[in-house]
Amino acid sequence: MSWVILILSGVLEAVWATALGKSEGFTKLWPSVVFVVGLILSMGGLAWAMREISTGTAYAVWVGIGASLTVAYAMITGDEDFSIVKMLLILGLVGCVVGLKMVGHE
């Protein structure tokens, strides 16, 4: 169950990071609200998952999921330019996240 919570928390990291950018320095209400709620839920889930998953592994997985989804979403929506190199790097991040899960002892 800890891994499911950790993955969902990583997804929420992408949500709050995207909302933070869309809040324009907290001048827009709804993106700011999404940021705060997403941040609280994401951090709470990370903390919960770290009760059973080592800190280094949990944090690396959380950041990897959040970073790759944030960049992928930005490329899909046109906020970030698409490139093959960026896509390969995202796939590398995903591969590392999967690798950490596979070699973990939790």
Q: Where are the domains of the chain?
A: 2-103
The least confident of 6-10, 66-70, 95-99 is 95-99
Residue 27 is predicted with a pLDDT of 98
Neighbours of 83 (CB within 10 A): 10
- Between 26 and 96, whose confidence is greater? 26
Long-range own/partner contacts, residues 92-100 (CB < 8 A, 24 or more apart): 93/64, 93/67, 93/68, 94/64, 94/68, 96/60, 96/64, 97/60, 97/61, 97/64, 97/65, 97/68, 100/57, 100/60, 100/61, 100/64
94 neighbors 64 (Cβ within 8 angstroms): yes
Residue 94 has pLDDT above 70, yes or no: yes
Q: 98 falls in which pLDDT band (50, 70, 90)?
A: confident
Residue 97 has pLDDT above 90, yes or no: no
Per residue in 6-64, pLDDT (tens digit) is: 999 999 999 999 999 999 999 999 999 999 999 999 999 999 999 999 999 999 999 99
Residue 104 has pLDDT above 80, yes or no: no
Residue 2 has pLDDT above 80, yes or no: yes
